[in-house]
Amino acid sequence: MSREVRTGSVVVDRIGELVTNDPTLGEGPLGIVRDAAVVVVDGVVTYAGPRAGAPVAEHAGRLDAQGAAVIPGFVDSHGHYVFAGDRAEEFAARMAGQPYTAGGIASTVRATREASDEDLAAGVGRLVREAALSGTTTAECKSGYGLSVVDEQRSLEIAGRHADEITFLGAHVVPQEYADRRDDYVALVAGEMLDACAPHATWIDVFCDRGAFDADEAREILRAGIGRGLMPRVHANQLQQGPGVQVAIEVGAASADHCTHLSDDDVEALAASDVVATLLPGAEFSTRAQYPDARRLLDRGVTVALAADCNPGSSYTTSMPFCIAVAVRDMRMTPSEAVWSATAGGARALRRSDVGHLGVGARGDLVLLDAPSHLHLAYRPGVPLVRSVFRAGARVR
Ligand code: NIG
Ligand code: FE
């Protein structure tokens, strides 16, 4: 269903600072090991620790890190890569004072429906490659700009050729042709569209917010998806306080995404649940909106993920280093928390235990930085610090 993983073998040696995200392997929550080496054989980590203890791995290429830092590949758990056209004019108008509304989605839906499969696939491939160049080794991708049975189904089928985790988002907004009969659209999404899309996805998502779907509609669609074997995740509380987070908790979602406008009850409910709060700094940056307060969530013990939310409307970036820098500067995260959230946090949001860390048995996804420490990702914003990227031990940069 999702893209094939090409595997390779490599020894990365003379690592000045290795972030494993495994506290049993090293210092602090990031499990930091200094003067380290990582060995990946046939796509899987077989050693991560001090250089001195590294086994000899025959047939594996050797990369000399020359004292630089290595971190796990980024796990970007939230992206909308299947679309045609762009909305640069809408962005420019916003920067001149227009507010962001979900209404702009309709123009991308028009362009996406008109595009050929080949053009859509080329666009997804381009964005997944772009993300990989900045260190993303696991990418989630949603439908949501087709909003008809045939266009949602083909969006998912195309996403599956390039991305790792595929999410059905037929409930992005109500398309214009259903504006006067939204109940019929909800029934379509939960019925015929779900039947066509479920074989091409692992996840189901609903945009539960102002201008999109209300709590009852979201519950109906998410429950129908769960009934078809999909796992739920929710676009929640982006534009205003509302029921999105509570719905996510009720249905046992892996993740509530955005979490920008939260009541105290929302924060307490998240803390008492195992729902990951996925924060998307690119969206607030590009809509000039209030940032979510990560500190408020972290201080209550909520698991926080960071993701890029790449889409042509609210956040046209694939760069996780950019998201880390913004999250540290404007969302009250420490640099170490932000790196954890962009790697291990993303893996939690996708319920993946094989990525987001570099312990033995993990997939060999790692990023060699042009910097001595992971702290530099926030400390040196906008600088291309990603020197080399390996996915399952195969070099992608
Ligand atoms: O996650 N919030 C809903 N969906 C996207 C934006 C979609 C668009 O504006 O095209 C998001 O930010
Ligand atoms: Fe989104």
In a mutational test of the pocket of ligand 1, which residue from 81, 82, 91, 105 has the highest number of ligand atoms less than 8 Å from its CB?
105
Please check whether residue 5 lies inside any domain of the structure.
Answer: no
Beta bridge partners of 48: 38
**Is 1 a residue whose pLDDT tops 80?**
no
Range name among 7-16, 102-111, 125-134, 210-219 with the lowest pLDDT average: 102-111
374 and 241 within one domain: no
pLDDT in tens, 357-375: 999 999 999 999 999 999 9
**Is 2 a residue whose pLDDT tops 80?**
no
Domain of residue 183, CATH code: 3.20.20.140
What does pLDDT average to over the chain? Answer: 97
184 and 67 within one domain: no
381 and 261 within one domain: no
CA 9-15-19 angle, 5° bins = 90
Note the residue count of the chain: 397
pLDDT in tens, 265-293: 999 999 999 999 999 999 999 999 999 99
In a mutational test of the pocket of ligand 1, which residue from 147, 174, 207 has the highest number of ligand atoms less than 8 Å from its CB?
207
Q: Is 259 in the pocket of ligand 1 (CB under 6 A)?
A: no
Element (H, E) at 158: helix 149-162
Please check whether residue 124 lies inside any domain of the structure.
Answer: yes
Beta bridge partners of 315: 311
Q: Which atom of ligand 1 is nearest to the CA of 212?
A: 3
Residue 367 sits at φ, ψ, to 5 deg, of -125, 125
Q: Whose CA is nearest to atom 8 of ligand 1?
A: 313
Distance CA 362, CA 377 (A): 23
Supply the Cα-derived Rg of the chain in whole angstroms.
Answer: 20
Q: Taking residues 18-26, what's their average pLDDT?
A: 98
179 and 32 within one domain: no
- Written as one letter, the residue type at 99 is P
Per-residue model confidence (pLDDT) at position 59: 81
Q: Which atom of ligand 1 is nearest to the CA of 105?
A: 10
- The answer to whether the CB of 65 falls within 8 A of the CB of 13 is yes
pLDDT in tens, 88-135: 999 999 999 999 988 899 999 999 999 999 999 999 999 999 999 999
pLDDT in tens, 147-171: 999 999 999 999 999 999 999 999 9
Please check whether residue 113 lies inside any domain of the structure.
Answer: yes
Distance CA 302, CA 21 (A): 17
Please check whether residue 2 lies inside any domain of the structure.
Answer: no
How far CA 46 is from CA of 15, 43, 151, in Å, comes to 16, 9, 42
Q: Taking residues 179-191, what's their average pLDDT?
A: 98
Per-residue model confidence (pLDDT) at position 57: 84
How far CA 95 is from CA of 91, 285, 286, 289, in Å, comes to 6, 10, 8, 11
Structure tokens at 236: 């929640």
Q: Which of 319, 334, 349 is the last residue of a domain?
A: 349
Beta bridge partners of 208: 236
Q: How are beta strands 61-64 and 10-19 bridged, if at all? A: parallel
172 and 58 within one domain: no
Residue 362 domain boundaries: 10-73+356-395
Question: Looking only at Cα atoms, what is the longest distance across the chain?
Answer: 69
- Written as one letter, the residue type at 142 is K
How far CA 82 is from CA of 89, 109, 123, 155, 311, in Å, comes to 20, 10, 7, 6, 8
CA–centroid distance for 373 within its chain:
23
